[in-house]
Amino acid sequence: MPTHDSPGHRGAPAVPARPASYRTVLAVPEFRALLLAQTLATCGGVVVQLTLSVLVYARTGSALLASLAFALGFTPYLFGAALLSAVADRYPARDVLVACQALSCAMAAAMALPGLPVPALLALVLVLGIAAPVFQGARAAALPDLLPAGGYPLGRSLLRLVSQSTQVAGFAVGGLLLLAVPAGQALLASAAGFAVATLVLRYGTRRRAARLPAGGSVARASLAGVRRVLAVPGLRPLLLLTWLPPALAVAPEALAAPYAAELGAGPGGAALLLCAAPAGSVAGELLYGTLLSPRTRARLLVPSAVLIFVPLLGFAFRPGLMAATALLVLSGLGYPYAMALDQRTLEAAPAELRGRTLTLALAGLMAGQGLGFAAAGAAAEFLAPPFVVAGAGLLGLVVLAFCGGGGGADARTGICRVPARPFPQHPCP
């Protein structure tokens, strides 16, 4: 029988009498340790990707192989989630987090070995990509155990904000490192970052018992857990809302360079377009997290997601650079729909499947965005970039109408009703 020694194992979190805030979430020492580890790990991962891309291109002269150094970090997400997601439920979260960071440290250090063949380098990137969804799922599943009631969506929001800003900083740090030291030393610096993150997680967080006992095949338990997660009717629309809107929303980012070139704006215009939606997203996260109550955020779940796609329809009129930038900033303001979605997903997930549910959700999110990049690029071979962006906006609204409307929808959010307890008894038709 699973051990229930912490508040997070009692099923779905109760609605707090007083709403949590960013301040109460940041007041938790363990969460601050998670934030610090996230910063170090994200920066280390970005430096690894950038350094390997440069290193592989220098050795082979192949743009395709250089791009694989980026792509292979995301490709194994669904593979890792399908075969290893049970790890997040069957082992203490701290043990999983520490092991994943230690593995990342070892892989980055191995990449620094002189003369390592390019296929071996790419294989090490694959290992990092397989471990990533396990780490993220275990971390997300651990948040309700260490945060105050109602703090989970705000904790996830802060992790997203830190991740976005750290990715930008990571590229800057990686570029400076490559100017100052050889690629091997830059990879060792990344390994050092992973090592420090490992120590922060080991000594900055408390070891809590696993939700399920260990034993048996992890792969079989993971695959069975995926089937069980997908069989929970209340979870299916929530997972679709987690995966599909972000996959379509990346179209402007995927086509920023060709659209800027079409406008005659050059690389500077592309950079402006790339920064617009993230800037709107950061502003939206802060506004939603500080000004709106959990009930209001829940009520605005689908309307916020709609806000992502309505501005994209304006690209059908081929807006100029500043107008396109403004449309993308406005679109980014809708991204915090994920705050309410995170809470609803947590409430709908059976307690013993929490880790597998969140691992699957995050892995599908990353894989969907990768597919969205590829699909937008393929569509742009036949249509002008602004029409592809507008088409993505239209498809996004169709997805929201399918996942967020229809009979049996919750009047507060527009999505299927999910009972407060972890086992839905009245699924939507």
Q: Tell me the two tokens of residue 61.
A: 């002269």
Same domain, 384 and 247: yes
Confidence of residue 424 (pLDDT cuts 50, 70, 90): very low
Strand partners, 320: none
Helical spans, DSSP H, in 21-117: 22-26, 29-60, 63-71, 77-84, 87-90, 93-111
**What whole-number distance in Å separates Cα of residue 310 and Cα of residue 20?**
31
Q: Could you list the residue range(s) of the whole structural domain that residue 112 is in?
A: 17-204
Q: Kindly report the pTM of this predicted structure.
A: 0.70
Give residues with Cβ within 8 angstroms of 100, minimum separation 6: 131, 132, 134, 135, 138
**What whole-number distance in Å separates Cα of residue 184 and Cα of residue 111?**
8
Q: What is the mean pLDDT of residues 81-98?
A: 78
Same domain, 125 and 39: yes
For residue range 360-391, what is the model confidence (pLDDT) as tens digits? 887 788 878 878 877 888 888 888 989 999 99
| Domain assignment of residue 411, yes or no | no
**pLDDT above 60 for 426:** no
Same domain, 269 and 190: no
Same domain, 245 and 110: no
| Domain assignment of residue 297, yes or no | yes
For residue range 191-203, what is the model confidence (pLDDT) as tens digits? 999 999 999 999 9
**pLDDT above 50 for 324:** yes
**pLDDT above 90 for 157:** no
**What whole-number distance in Å separates Cα of residue 183 and Cα of residue 108?**
11
Same domain, 233 and 200: no
pLDDT at 179: 77
Same domain, 241 and 182: no
The terminus-to-terminus CA distance of the chain in angstroms comes to 33
Same domain, 195 and 292: no
Same domain, 192 and 284: no
For residue range 55-82, what is the model confidence (pLDDT) as tens digits? 877 777 766 566 566 666 666 666 666 6
Same domain, 388 and 292: yes
For residue range 265-299, what is the model confidence (pLDDT) as tens digits? 876 787 788 778 888 888 888 888 888 888 888 88
Give residues with Cβ within 8 angstroms of 125, minimum separation 6: 48, 49, 52, 68, 69, 72, 73, 107
Number of domains in the chain: 2
Confidence of residue 406 (pLDDT cuts 50, 70, 90): very low
Confidence of residue 419 (pLDDT cuts 50, 70, 90): very low
Same domain, 169 and 243: no
| Domain assignment of residue 421, yes or no | no
| Domain assignment of residue 126, yes or no | yes
Count CB neighbours of 275 within 10 A: 16
**What whole-number distance in Å separates Cα of residue 194 and Cα of residue 102?**
7
Same domain, 37 and 121: yes
| Domain assignment of residue 7, yes or no | no
Cβ atoms 233, 424 nearer than 8 A: yes
Q: 3-state class of 409 per DSSP? A: strand
- By C-alpha distance, which of 191, 165, 168 is closest to 44? 191
**CATH value at residue 378:** 1.20.1250.20
For residue range 224-268, what is the model confidence (pLDDT) as tens digits? 777 888 888 788 888 889 889 999 998 888 888 788 888 888 767
